[in-house]
Amino acid sequence: MTSMGAPLSPDGGPAVFVAATAALRDAMGRVRPEVAVHEIQAPARLAPYAFAAAGGLSRDGDEAASGRLILLFDPAGHSAWEGTARFVCYARAAVDPEIATDPLLPEVVWSWLRDAMEANQAGYRAIGGTVTITNSKRFGVLAADGDNSDVELRCSWSPEWPGTANGCDHRVWRPAEAAAQLHSFADLLAAMVGLPPRVRGVVPLPSRHPC
């Protein structure tokens, strides 16, 4: 299920940013139905222009995965971005303790992001990120709730959009290039809770909560 709220980001700004935010808002109603996506207040100090969306997925009434996708835009550009636009992504999901101890889990989680973006044809460059596994053991009156393990992905990348890269780029802007970024984010959250891929190339984690 998806939900949309009133725009929380400024509608003014460079043409590419305005077009991208409009495309992202439109795409919120068309992500895979298991994932709820809505616009949230964008951070004010990371870039002159910003747009943010939050996503989540529930299983049996409990939050199974959640995350945020933020688009930053700075007309002056950043050398680390290799251009003027940058996506920042955070995604978190609960996993079974035995899965959390798998030494290959960080590489698998990273592959979910790359595969989702490539399957959705979401162009990117200068991508980087970290995968963190946390294990919490409960004691005393909390012991009955059981232990908890989570996997977190924090990453960022620059979209391959016309007018945002360093140097000349005479391609025509297409809204689908922005929508692909949001679809990749939703597919990432779905893969993190073990849902079958909506697109080819994404290998999901075994489900923690059997259907």
Residue 193 has what DSSP assignment? T
Residue ranges of the alpha helices (H) in the chain? 15-27, 97-100, 105-119, 175-192
pLDDT at 175: 83
Give 10-residue mean pLDDT values along the chain (211 residues). 45 83 95 95 93 92 92 94 96 87 92 93 95 85 77 96 69 82 96 79 53 38
pLDDT at 139: 81
| Residue 141 burial by Cβ neighbours in a 10 Å radius (0-12, 13-18, 19+) | exposed
The residues that bridge with 135 in the sheet, in sequence order, are 149
| Residue 47 burial by Cβ neighbours in a 10 Å radius (0-12, 13-18, 19+) | buried
Domain extents in the chain: 15-192
pLDDT at 23: 95
pLDDT at 3: 40
pLDDT at 211: 38
pLDDT at 128: 97
- CA-to-CA separations, 129 to 12, 78, 142, 202, in angstroms, rounded: 30, 18, 33, 18
